[in-house]
Amino acid sequence: MIKKVINKKVPLAVLRDAQVKVDEVMGMLAPYCTAQSSPEREAMIRKGPEFFKFMELSCRLAVENSDLISGFTESAVLGKDCSIVRELWIFIAKLNQLKNNIYDMEIAAGSPVLQAALAFYQTVKIAARRDIPGARLIYEELKPTRPSGRRKQQRIKNSRIARID
C-alpha cells in the first residue's frame, strides 16, 4: 500500500528555533565528545545494533558474577559504562529518526523547487540562444552550478552492469 505524503511547510521561525535547540544540545555534549582520527576509529572494535543485546547482557551478567571477571576489568566500571552506552544508543536512535524525518521534509520541499529551477534554466537557455537581452548573462551564471545528471546516469549504468554480473 502506498502512503501519500502530505508536505506541510515548516515555518522559518520553527526551523530557526529548532536549530538553536540543536546548537544547545551540541554545546551541552561538546565537553564529552572526542573526535577520533581514522586510524583510531579503525583500531576500535566495530559495533552495531546486533551487538548491543550481547553487550548489555554481558555487562549485566558480569556485574552479577563479578568473580568471573578477569583481573583487568572492574565490574563497577563495566556496569556504569554499559549504562552510558545504552543511553547513547537510545539518543542516537532518536537523532537518526529525526535526521531521517528532516531529510524527508527537505526532499519533499526541495523537489518542486528544483523542478522549477530546472524549468527556469531551460527557459533562460532557450532565451540566450535567441539573443533575448539579459538571458545570456543569466545563463552563463547558472550554467556552472547546474547539476549535470551524469552521476544518476552513471549509477543507473553501474547498477545495470552489477545485475548482469
164 pLDDT above the threshold of 60: no
Q: What are phi and psi of 42, to 5 degrees?
A: -65, -30
Cα separation, 18 vs 20, whole angstroms: 5
- Burial code of 47-73, b = ≥16 C-beta within 10 A, e = fewer? eeeeeeeeeeeebeebeeeeeeeeeee
The residue that leads in pLDDT, 116 or 164, is 116
Question: Which pLDDT score is estimated for 70?
Answer: 76
Q: How confident is the model at residue 162 (pLDDT cuts 50, 70, 90)?
A: very low
CA pair distance 75, 67, nearest whole angstrom: 9
Q: How confident is the model over 40-99, as pLDDT tens digits?
A: 888 887 677 778 888 888 888 887 887 887 776 766 667 778 888 888 888 999 999 999
| Residue 9 confidence (pLDDT) | 83
In the chain, % helix, strand, coil (3-state, to 5) comes to 75, 0, 25
Residue with cell 547539476: 147
124 contacts 139 by C-beta, under 8 angstroms: yes
- Number of neighbours of residue 108 by Cβ within 10 angstroms: 14
**Pairwise pLDDT comparison (125 vs 76), residue with the higher score:** 125
